[in-house]
Amino acid sequence: MIWNDEFETLPREAIESLQAKRLRQVVERVNATVPFYRESFEKAGISPFQINTLDDLKRLPFTLKQDMRDNYPYGLFSVPLEQIVRIHASSGTTGKPTVVGYTRRDIEMWAELMARCFGAAGVHQGDIIQNAYGYGLFTGGLGAHYGAERLGASVIPMSGGQTKKQLMLLQDFGSTVLTCTPSYCLFLAEAAREEGIDIVNLPLRVGIHGAEPWSEQMRGEIEEKLGIKAIDIYGLSEILGPGVGIECIEAQHGLHLWEDHFIPEIINPDTGEVLPHGEKGELVITTITKEGIPLIRYRTRDITRIIPEPCICGRTHVRLERMSGRSDDMMIIRGVNVFPSQIESVLFKIEGVEPHYQLVVNREDNLDTLEVQVEVNEVTFSDEIKELQSLSRRIQKDIKEILGVSCQVKLVEPKTIARSEGKAKRVIDLRDQA
Ligand code: DLL
C-alpha cells in the first residue's frame, strides 16, 4: 500500500526541485544556527549562498561521527533545547554516545516516514504489530511504535528480549507483523521450535528487519522458518532512526530512500569523490527537513550502491541495494576485504549449518588470521568426526573460492554462540591485543 501517494510517487523532476529548495534552506539554517557548520563552511571557503543546485552539494564538507562526538551532547542542535521534545542516543562501541534531538515536527515527520515504511511492507490498519525493537535510548522501539500508531495498526510495545513472552504474545495476541533485528527473529524461531510451537502456522505474515547487516540467504532462512515475508528496513539514529529507507513488498529488492527528506550520495570512502549511480561505495546522507539536528553530508560508513532502475511498485524514490555492511566492520584479511555478510551468504548455503556464527580475527606472526565459528545442527553434530571434518573443509573451500580468503573453520555445538536480543555481534577482533 502506498501510504502517501502524493509524495511517494512524485515525478523525478519534482523530487529534485524540492530537494534543491530544501537543501538551500537547510544550509542557510545550519550556517546561521550551528557554530560547527559555520566554521566548517568557512574553512572550506564556501558561503551558503553559493549552494543553489543539487550539484553544488558536493562542494560542502562532510560531517563525521567524530564531529558529533566532539560536539557532545547538544553542540550540533540547530534549535534551542526548549524546542526539543525527545532525545535519543546510540551507544557506540567506544566512549560517549552520539546524541540526537527531535523537535515536535521531527517526531511527526519520523512517524510519517515509518508509516510509509509499514505501507511499503504491506502492513495496514487492522494489523497487529509486535514491536520487538528495544525501547529506550535506541531509536528502534519508539521509531517503529509511532509509525505503527500513525498507520492506524495495533501496536504491541513488547520491546526486545523476554523471548518466552514474545512467543506467548505471538500466539495469544495473534500478531500479524513482527518488527525486530533479523538475528533476533531467527532466535525466536529457534526458541519456538524448542517449545514445540508451530510458528509457521501462526497468523504472523510480515517481518520488518533491520538495524544490522543481513544477507539474502538469511532472508530465506527467516521466511522459511517463520512462514512470513521478511522486509529489510534501514536507518540510523544520527539521520532519524528506523525508516530512512525500506524495501517494498512488491519487489523485495533495494530499499527506497525517502528523497523528499534525505539526499543520498555514494562516495569512494578513501578519496571522498562522489561516484555515479550504480557504483558501490559509502552512503552519505544530507537531511533536508530535520529541525533538531540537521546533518549535512553525513558519512554513514554503510556500504551500498544506488539502484538506478525504476521500481515496479510505482514509488519514484531511489533504491539502495541491501547494505553489505559498515566500512568499520570490513575485515582486511591478508589484504582481502571481507564483510561478515559475505561469509554469512556462503555459510547459509551449506546443508547442516545453523544460521549462527561468529568471526574471530587475530594476528599470528604478523599475519591476519580468520576463524569462522559456526554452529551445526543436532543431526550433523552427532555425525562421525570424519564427516564433520569434511564439512569444515567444504566451508573452508567455499569461502576461499568465493571470497578469496583462507580461514580456519570451527564447527561448534548447537546453541554455543551467544544469541542477541538486538544487534548481533558477528566479529571479534583480537588483533589490537595481539
Ligand atoms: O539501528 C536504527 C534502526 C532501528 C534501523 C531499527 C532499522 C530498524 P543505530 O543504532 O544508530 O540505528 O545503528 C545504525 O545500523 O549505520 C547500519 O550500519 C546498521 N543498519 C541499520 N539498518 C540496517 C540494515 C538503528 N537494514 C546502523 N542493513 C547503520 C544493514 C543496517 N545495516
Tens digits of per-residue pLDDT, 224-270? 999 999 999 999 999 999 999 999 999 999 999 999 999 999 999 99
Residue 233 CA: which ligand 1 atom is closest? 26
Task: Note the pLDDT tens digit of each residue in 396-411.
Answer: 999 999 999 999 999 9
Residue 306 confidence (pLDDT) above 70: yes
pTM of the model: 0.96
Tell me the β-bridge partners of 247: 255
How is the chain split into domains, by residue range?
A: 1-327, 331-433
Topology annotation, domain 1-327: Rossmann fold (3.40.50)
Where b means 16+ CB within 10 Å and e means fewer, 73-93 reads: beebbbbeeebbebebbbeee
Is the CB–ligand 1 distance for residue 326 below 6 Å? yes
Query: Can you tell me the distance from the alpha carbon of 207 to that of 227, in angstroms, rounded to the nearest whole number?
Result: 10
CA distance 293 to 274: 24
Residue 268 has φ and ψ, to the nearest 5°, of -75, 120
Task: Kindly tell me if the per-residue pLDDT of 434 is higher than 60.
Answer: no
pLDDT of residue 94: 65
The domain made up of 331-433 has a fold known as GMP Synthetase; Chain A, domain 3 (3.30.300)
Q: How far apart are CA 434 and CA 430, in angstroms?
A: 6
Each residue's pLDDT tens digit, 343-385: 999 999 999 999 999 999 999 988 899 999 999 998 888 888 9
Q: Is the CB of 236 under 6 A from ligand 1?
A: yes
> For residue 95, is pLDDT > 80?
no
| C-alpha closest to that of 238 among 325, 139, 135, 96 | 139
State pLDDT tens for residues 163-183.
999 999 999 999 999 999 999
Q: Average pLDDT for residues 9-23, to the nearest whole number? A: 98
CA atoms within 13 A on the CB side of 182: 27
Cell triple for 282:
559509502
Centre of ligand 1 from the C-alpha of residue 118, in Å:
16
Q: How confident is the model at residue 155 (pLDDT cuts 50, 70, 90)?
A: very high
If pLDDT is split at 50, 70 and 90, which confidence band does 93 have?
A: low
For the purposes of burial, counting CB atoms within 10 Å of the CB of 347, is it exposed (0-12), middle (13-18) or buried (19 or more)? buried
Residue 328, pLDDT score: 85
Helical H segments across 152-267, by residue range: 163-172, 182-194, 216-226
Reported as type and span, the H/E element at residue 402 is helix 385-403
- pLDDT tens figures, 326-348: 988 888 898 899 999 999 999 99
What is the chain's mean pLDDT, rounded? 96
Indicate which atom in ligand 1 lies nearest the CA of residue 209: 8
Our answer on whether the CB atom of 110 is closer than 6 Å to any ligand 1 atom is no
Q: Which of 69, 232, 236 to mutate to test the pocket of ligand 1 (most atoms within 8 A of CB)?
A: 236
Question: Residue 92's pLDDT is what?
Answer: 66
